[in-house]
């Protein structure tokens, strides 16, 4: 069965650079969530989209932005990267209120 696809899997950036993470949800899923997970931490909710509209916002820094496109894929744009942004970034998708399935994540390292 198709799963949530994230790209790239690994990304290394320098401080103050920008990064773009991509997420392709499971076909027919209408909701996308972005989570950030630091080492040894629980996933922290950043932002979500339902039917291409932002539906909820969590602890997303102002330096980050995201959007969902007409084909339902989503991109997380991160600017002015800081060392503390190094983390695993997960995208998850669901059909409305049904269970959320996570992608394999993008490991971002800021040096």
> Whole-number minimum distance, CB 19 to another protein, in Å?
19
Binding segment for another protein (CB under 8 A), chosen from 20-28, 44-52, 70-78, 79-87, is 44-52
β-pairing, 106-110 vs 10-13, is: parallel
> Whole-number minimum distance, CB 78 to another protein, in Å?
19
Q: Is 51 in the site for another protein (CB under 8 A)?
A: no
Q: Is 1 in the site for another protein (CB under 8 A)?
A: no
Of 18, 21, 17, the closest CA to residue 9 belongs to 21
d(CA 22, CA 94): 16
């Amino acid at each position: 069965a198709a799963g949530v696809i994230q790209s790239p899997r690994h990304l290394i950036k320098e401080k103050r650079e920008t990064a773009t993470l991509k997420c392709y949800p499971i076909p027919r899923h209408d909701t996308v969530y972005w989570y950030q997970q630091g080492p040894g931490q629980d996933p922290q909710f950043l932002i979500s989209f339902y039917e291409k509209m932002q539906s909820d916002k969590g602890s997303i820094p102002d330096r980050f932005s995201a959007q969902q496109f007409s084909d339902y894929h989503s991109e997380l744009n991160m600017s002015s990267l800081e060392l503390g942004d190094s983390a695993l970034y997960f995208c998850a998708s669901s059909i409305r209120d049904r269970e959320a399935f996570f992608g394999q994540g993008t490991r971002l390292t800021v040096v």
